[in-house]
Structure 1
């Protein structure tokens, strides 16, 4: 009776195996041909295994797990749940308090910045990367080359950090900012669900601000 009751859970676990194998292989930066060479399993069989067209068996999963250097339960077991809280270890740079919000080592990195009111003297600098700023509270002053603007709560700015830039307080009070920064210069791509509206005539021309 217990086995019968567990059948849906077993089926759900089996359904997840193809995607797990592919994700682990890509995380290890290995091609199907690489895994085929390491396991002796044909590339076509591995492809069908990853697409769900080939039923997983121990004869297939054991050598694949060995080739990917992962324990078998990482392929067939339930995903491990880790503590979702990100440890916050505030650091100081000048008068600014910087809290890293990123757990992983990849980019872009996320930070929360608290900028005191007295940090209001522009000191422009340049470096490789791309930065995205979201103002949480206060008024942020952003100087970007010849552009000098102020942003309030909820406003966003993004810019290539190879341009001379500085951001800080306007002097009227402290500022709290969320920052996403990537050293490789990647832009931040924001995806939103398009609004559905009735069409009564020819299609509207694309909004110049929309991503393509």
Structure 2
């Protein structure tokens, strides 16, 4: 199922019109329409804002057809893909409903970011940079992190990530509760 079809399915399953969802999220009705018709590929930040209005996490959104299992081990090819374009988030486990921790392997193409507007959510998150360089903004603080550097913050602070290196940036992150 492509992203637009998925969004339409989730929105209608929750008995929401595009206008009602737009009111709840502050994302314009026309943007939601363009996403659903596959004429626009939203940033992760925009998609998260839309899904928060339903509410459904990004992980649940991208794993709609999969069911919760008692699994403890995952091969690389079994990680759930979240994101598109220059961002790729690989989530351990398909459906995190009822779980309190989310672990991601994040990949940022050179120049990619989580969106021009910082986003915030309940919880805490932390991570460690594996390769590349990423600019991390939390509230009014900004720094550049490279391999071996790490971050940890209260996710209620508005935050944004941007790859500033000429090579892709890879990092491993965890957040609680799951927000994607």
The two structures have a TM-score, normalised by structure 1, of 0.43
> Which of 121, 128, 133 is equivalent to 1:134?
128
Aligned to 1:177: 171
Kept in 2: contact 1:102–1:111 (CA 8 A): no
- 1:88 CA displacement: 2.0
Residue correspondence of structure 1 range 65-144 to structure 2 within 5 A: 84-86=73-75, 87-102=78-93, 105=96, 106-120=99-113, 122-144=116-138
Kept in 2: contact 1:130–1:184 (CA 8 A): no
Aligned to 1:77: none
Kept in 1: contact 2:74–2:93 (CA 8 A): no
**Secondary structure, aligned partner of 1:112:** strand
- Give the Cα separation in 1 of the matches to 2:95 and 2:84: 22
- Give the Cα separation in 1 of the matches to 2:122 and 2:150: 20
- 1:172 CA displacement: 3.0
Kept in 2: contact 1:133–1:178 (CA 8 A): yes
Residue correspondence of structure 1 range 2-81 to structure 2 within 5 A: none
- Give the Cα separation in 1 of the matches to 2:158 and 2:150: 18
The two structures have a TM-score, normalised by structure 2, of 0.50
Pair 123,83 (structure 1): closer, same or farther in 2 beyond 3 Å: closer
- 1:94 CA displacement: 4.3
Per-residue Cα deviation, 1:146-183 (whole angstroms, up to 9, x for no partner): 11101111111001111111012115331101110112
Aligned to 1:164: 158
- Consecutive unaligned residues of structure 1, counting only runs of 5 or more, are 1-81, 186-212
Over 4 Å off, 4+ runs:
none
Q: How many pairs does the alignment contain?
A: 105
Kept in 2: contact 1:136–1:176 (CA 8 A): yes
Aligned to 1:42: none
Instruction: Please identify the structure whose Cα radius of gyration is greater.
Output: 1
User: Bigger relative contact order, structure 1 or 2, given CA contacts below 8 A and separation 6+?
Assistant: 2
- Give the Cα separation in 2 of the matches to 1:167 and 1:184: 18
Pair 184,89 (structure 1): closer, same or farther in 2 beyond 3 Å: closer
